[in-house]
Amino acid sequence: MHSIIQPAYITSGALVGFLVGLTGVGGGALMTPLLVLLFGFHPSTAVGTDLLFASTTKVVGTAIHSSGKSVDWSIVGRLATGSLPATILTLLAIHHFGVESKGVATAISLTLGVALIISAVSLLAKDKVIAIAVKRNPDFGLHTSFWLTVLAGFVVGVLVSLSSVGAGALGTIALFFLYPRLPVVRIVGSDIAHAVPLTFVAGVGH
């Protein structure tokens, strides 16, 4: 049985909480692999556990960013318009096939691996992505990003529901591309705020 008071759990939670608060990135990308590889959780259990952990930690982050006026609630709404329906559809699919089925376990493990790789590559290429976005699409974030933001939210919703990865890393990168002229602190704050309803709904579903 896993003990919630073991120092390793506390240390892992503190480290991930610090990184999420600082950058908006690291919740699923760090905690889910830790739960699987270090603590020996089944992938589906690790995903559900991390989602509820993320929803708790990001409530605190959202409150802090909101008090500092670094959350763009219109962007949060656009992301949620896509992510919440995607989350519900994904959870219904998991329920239909059975969370303990081999197919679902394989899908979760595969999605987790792919999402981690995409997150790492995206973060490494972040500066180039921003530079290209600003050069080719100078009005992004002003007039043309609404439906692209909804679509980004949908993709993130599916990935997060299956792997718990993407709400921070991929969500942040998507916002950097769609809103390259938005201050970094507002992108981070908006991404953290969007992750609260997303991870809560997905976590409760799991």
pLDDT in tens, the chain (206 residues): 455 557 888 888 788 777 766 665 666 677 877 888 788 887 778 888 888 888 887 888 788 888 888 899 999 999 999 999 999 999 999 888 887 778 777 887 788 778 778 777 766 776 776 677 666 665 555 556 788 899 999 999 998 888 887 777 788 888 888 887 788 889 888 988 999 999 999 999 88
Half-sphere exposure of 194 (CA within 13 A, CB side): 39
State the Cα–Cα distance between residues 28 and 108, nearest whole angstrom.
13
Long-range contacts of 180-185 (CB under 8 A, 24+ apart): 180/130, 180/133, 180/134, 180/137, 180/140, 180/141, 181/134, 181/140, 181/141, 181/142, 182/72, 182/141, 183/70, 185/65, 185/68, 185/70
pTM: 0.79
State the Cα–Cα distance between residues 201 and 178, nearest whole angstrom.
25
Write the DSSP symbol of residue 38.
I
Identify the pLDDT of residue 49. 86
Identify the pLDDT of residue 110. 83
Count of helix runs (H) and strand runs (E) in the chain: 9, 0
Sequence ranges of the domains in the chain: 7-205
- Single-letter amino acid code for the residue at 64: I
Under 8 Å CB-to-CB from 125, ≥6 apart: which residues?
none
pLDDT, tens digit (0-9, with 9 covering 90-100), for 131-145: 776 666 655 555 567
Identify the pLDDT of residue 35. 83
Nearest to 191 by CA among 50, 25, 22: 25
- Single-letter amino acid code for the residue at 110: L
